[in-house]
Structure 1
Amino acid sequence: MTRIKAFKSLLFILFISILSSCNSDDNSVSEGNDQTSQETITTKERLVGEWKLISSTIDNKNISPSEFECLKNSIATFTQDDTYELTFLKLGNNSTNLCSQTSIQSGTYTVIGLNSVTFFNSTSEIKLIDNTLQITSKITDDNEEKDQIDIFIRSDNTELEESSAEETNDLETDESETDDNNEENNTFDGTEVIKNILGKWKIESNQDCFQKNTIEFKLQNAFEFIQHKKTFTRRDLLNYNIGMSYPLPENIEAEVTKGSDIVVFDTNAECQFIKTSNLEYVVKDEKTVVLKNIPGIRLILEDNNTIKLVYTFNDSNSNEQVKEFVYKKL
């Protein structure tokens, strides 16, 4: 009888142990599911929205500024319902539209871990690193397989904003297709005006670096315009087709040629941004000089020693603005 009671007690203990083990396993599964669910929620909160490309490298080398001129306009969009769209702009053959080649990739995505995502039917690796979205893909270049890494930041990131204080300290000198300022459309004889304006002129200003800005009228209608800024931003780098990692490195040295402009970026210089524009001028009348194919800039001769530079531009809200700068002859 004693043996039967002992056996029953042993069975009871074994039953309790098994039941406890099952409950423990169930709790572990539940905790694992909760953790996975929280990782998905956290990752999607960071991921959903619009992202803008700021850097592209192939085997850790930046792509050329000429390629980046179009690629920098690429956008990645992720939605709450697990869909995505990547729109890459590339150089095309269309003479009227530089970035006429568009590559669109779309489909569904899956969160596979904290800050880690995968695209359906794709081998690309997608990671959220700090404040960036990093997409790593395999490409074939010169018959070799290479890693292309595209880095995006959110479209509303403050690094992409124009600085209102500096907005007009870098006057746009991109050449337009307009013919209004071309010399062949001008009948005025500007010989006497040219005699008076030949030489270098310096801006009237007490701002650091900005006061170094000069214009120079040369023979054969050559015009040199040098602009300085104390610092520069990511927006400045992107404007001149330079991609940089995030956040910006402390030391940056770069020189790029874009159209008629040569721009030097140097974080160690007194004036970190210097742009030299080599253009052509046209004398419209005895008081007015314009720049060939640059409709936003007019030069008004106040007297033999004073020129007023009038700059017309559209602000970030597409409203037309006019700024005036005074230059004195050296």
Structure 2
Amino acid sequence: MNKKMLPIKTFKPLLFLLFTLALFACSSNNDSNQEDSEEITTTKEKLVGDWKLISSTIDNKNVSPSEFKCLKNSTATFNQDGTYELTFLKLGSGSANLCSQTNTQSGTYTVIGLNRVTFFNFNSEIKLMDDTLQITSKIINGDQEQDQVDTFIRNDNTELEESTEEESDNVETEVGDDNEEDNTFDGTQVIQQILGSWKIDSDQDCLQKNTIEFKPQNVFEFIQHKKSFNRRDLLDYNVSVSYPLPESIKATVTKGNDMVVFDTSAECQFTKTSTLEYTVKDEKTIVLKNISGLKMLLEDNQTIKLIYTFIDSDSNEQVREFIYKKQ
């Protein structure tokens, strides 16, 4: 018995349908592969580069400023060839109080999708979340196991930029090495003239609140105010906060001779009180012990000129002068 063949008129549409389905399947697969490839490329571009630690919590609580002092210098580097290196800095043992304990971890990584990365040779959990890199580690505190979450952002993140607002009015008072020359001038008479509080002669917002005070036993108090602060200011004083910066921040930190208050609800959100030691060099000149680039000239019984010399970010020497009037 002869088998019946499909009519040519029926066979051609069927063949066309099968061919169309095959093309659609190939096209869908290509589109999917292209989309996956674009997501992988986007994620790798976001990941490759240098990262800086900006926040650290233990069981959802920010670490103390003393711990964060070293942790904030931790870094992460991801290379184009699929390798990475993490370096954590911690306070070492002993009385030197240095960030001498270093834990370096390196290995390889693979990007498998949008913000999805697998890591090798690393026991902690690593997540790429929006603009942050989060590393969760298990730590042992006594007989308790705790979760430490370290958050990194890219080195070129705008939150790490130096503040330009009131930058020229901010006087640094970090104590350096003891390089003062021997002083034989008897400044008793000058001290009697300068004892007391002096206020800056300015009408600029928070700057006008700045004061200096000469106290007995050569104690000098310098109070500075700024309208606002940024991430860089917080890192300078070892304050760990989440990313992005929360709307409300209140913190008081003591660092060396400085006590800094951060308060987003205040009119002047940044206040720094520096307690230092002054020396009268001659009948007109007062300097601060171990503070380079800062001196004061007694213009008359009611006027002091504060002269601040510093090197800017372009390695150029800059000089700022401020007038203070006795209160």
TM (norm. structure 2) is 0.89
Q: What do the CA deviations read for 1:202-255 (whole angstroms, capped 9, x no partner)?
A: 011110011000000011111111111111111111111112212111111111
CA distance in 2, matches of 1:221, 1:257: 21
Q: Which residue of 1 aligns with 2:239?
A: 242
Q: CA RMSD in A?
A: 2.8
Q: How far 1:92 sits from its partner (Å)?
A: 2.5
Structure 2 equivalent of residue 98 of structure 1: 98
- Check the 8 A contact 2:88/2:104 in 1, yes or no: yes
Q: Is the 8 A contact 1:94 1:100 kept in 2?
A: no
CA distance in 1, matches of 2:254, 2:154: 28
SS at match of 2:292: strand
Tell whether 2:44 aligns with 1:47. Answer: no
Deviations 1:107-127 (A, max 9, x none): 211123311223212232222
SS of equivalent to 1:269 = coil
Give the whole-Å Cα distance in 2 for the aligned partners of 1:250 and 1:300. 41
Partner of 1:83: 83
Maintained 8 Å contact 1:117/1:125:
no
Distance across 1 between alignment mates of 2:146 and 2:116: 22
- Of the candidates 266, 269, 272, which is equivalent to residue 269 of structure 2? 272
- Map 1:9-20; keep pairs closer than 5 Å: none
Give the aligned partner of residue 199 of structure 2.
202
Q: Is the 8 Å Cα contact of residues 126 and 133 (structure 1) preserved in structure 2?
A: yes
Equivalent runs, 1:171-190 vs 2, <5 Å:
171-180=171-180, 185-190=182-187
The one-letter code of the counterpart of 2:136 is: T
- Given that 1:118 and 1:124 are in contact with CA atoms closer than 8 Å, whether structure 2 keeps it comes out as no
C-alpha distance in structure 1 between counterparts of 2:95 and 2:18, whole Å = 76
Shift in Å, 1:22? 8.9
Residue number in structure 1 paired with 2:143: 143
Q: Secondary structure at the match of 1:285?
A: coil
Q: 1:143 to 1:296 in 2, by over 3 A?
A: farther
In the alignment, does 2:296 pair up with 1:299? yes
Secondary structure at 2:69 match in 1 = helix
Q: Secondary structure at the match of 1:295?
A: coil
Kindly indicate whether the alpha-carbon contact (under 8 Å) linking 1:118 and 1:125 is maintained by their aligned counterparts in 2: no
Q: Shift in Å at residue 256 of structure 1?
A: 0.7
Q: 2: distance between equivalents of 1:272 and 1:286? A: 37
Rounded Cα–Cα distance in structure 1 between residues aligned with 2:267 and 2:100: 39
Task: Write the letter of the residue equivalent to 2:157.
Answer: N
Change (3 A) 1:20 1:147: farther
> Do the aligned partners of 2:207 and 2:225 also contact (CA within 8 Å) in 1?
yes
Q: Which ranges in structure 2 are unaligned for 5 or more consecutive residues?
A: none
Q: Does 1:231 align with 2:215?
A: no
Moved more, 208-217 or 125-134: 125-134
Structure 1 length-normalised TM: 0.88
- For the pair 1:70 / 2:67, whether they are aligned, the reply is no
Give the superposition deviation at 1:23: 8.4
1:33 offset after TM fit, Å?
4.1
Q: Which runs of 5+ in 1 are unaligned?
A: none
Give the 3 Å change call, closer, same or farther, for CA 148–23 of structure 1 in structure 2.
farther
- Determine what percentage of the aligned residue pairs are the same residue: 67
**273-282 vs 99-108, which moves further:** 99-108
Quote how far apart the aligned CAs of 1:99 are.
2.2
AA of the residue aligned to 1:147: D
Q: In 2, are the aligned partners of 1:217 and 1:224 still within 8 Å (CA)?
A: yes
| 1:329 partnered with 2:326 | yes
Aligned-partner residue type, residue 169 of structure 2? N
- Which position in structure 2 is the counterpart of 1:120? 120
CA shift in 2, pair 1:137/1:23, >3 Å: farther
- Among 287, 312, 315, the alignment partner of 1:318 is 315
